[in-house]
Amino acid sequence: MRENRVKRILRQGGLALGTHVGGIADPQIVEIIGLAGFDAAFIDMEHTSLDLHDVQAMVMAAERVGITPIVRTPGFDPAFILRLLDMGVQGIQVPHVQDAEAARAAVKAVRYPPEGERGMAAGSRAAEFGRIPLVEHMAQSNREVLLACMIEDMAAVECINEIAAVEGVDLLAVGPSDLSRSLGVSGTPDHPRLVAAIERVRMAAQHSAGARLALPLDHAAYPRNAAQLKAMGVGYTNCAPTPEARLLKSMREQAAEARKELG
């Protein structure tokens, strides 16, 4: 497995920039993301209709442009995560991790023994179809695969110190929209309760077993720019919007401008 660009940035103490692949099932979107200068392509299988064939093509595109393919899974299913890892996915983001037990289960699913319980497949694509010796592949995977646990429920915030203490978690990824919903403050940007909850996660990350904080850039519920995120110690951010939203905005502006010129 090649070096994980996002994990390299995390090790160096930097802020890695990712952006959404969105729901357009075309690997060229991933190539564009890489050519635009992002560090990661965020492939969302929780809120889109993307299937495994779509994801594999996107992984290959990410490899071509040297960025990290991160997949948000629909839920927590070790067997499904295994299939993603064996095809070469370099990052797994598990939604709605609510306690340390769930975080430990996620680590077991993404790490080979002795760090976890990931099943072995010596001839997988991730092992270059057997070209890389199994022991070497296992060590590479444990070093380079990124695990992000999503903190998007107040139940998770209440036990965030225990979650942060789980070894093998690379990112504590806050989901401001769902966390706002859980707090009962949806639709109120920068609500004090949301700000306080995120601060608890930030502090836990500072004293974690190795996890960095992840927060989205300029999120509607928690608007922060890149410099502000860096000052908070954030290690990874997703830059909205999705490609289809970017495309729609650009096309609407062009059409409106053309109609204005027509009178």
Q: Which residues pair with 20 in a beta bridge?
A: 42
> What are the backbone angles phi and psi of residue 145, rounded to the nearest 5°?
-70, 130
The yes-or-no answer on residue 47 being catalytic is: yes
Preceding peptide of 216 cis, ω within 30°: no
- Beta carbons within 10 angstroms of residue 121's beta carbon: 16
Token pair recorded at residue 99: 């306690």
Q: Which residues pair with 24 in a beta bridge?
A: none
Rg of the chain (C-alpha set)? 19
Burial 62-83 (b: 16+ CB within 10 A, else e): bbeeebbbbbbbeebeeebbbe
Helical residues (DSSP H) of 159-191, grouped into ranges:
160-164, 176-183
* Catalytic residue, candidates 20, 47, 137, 191: 47
Angle at 86 between CA 85 and CA 92, to 5 degrees: 5
Q: Which residues pair with 93 in a beta bridge?
A: 72, 148
The catalytic residues are 47
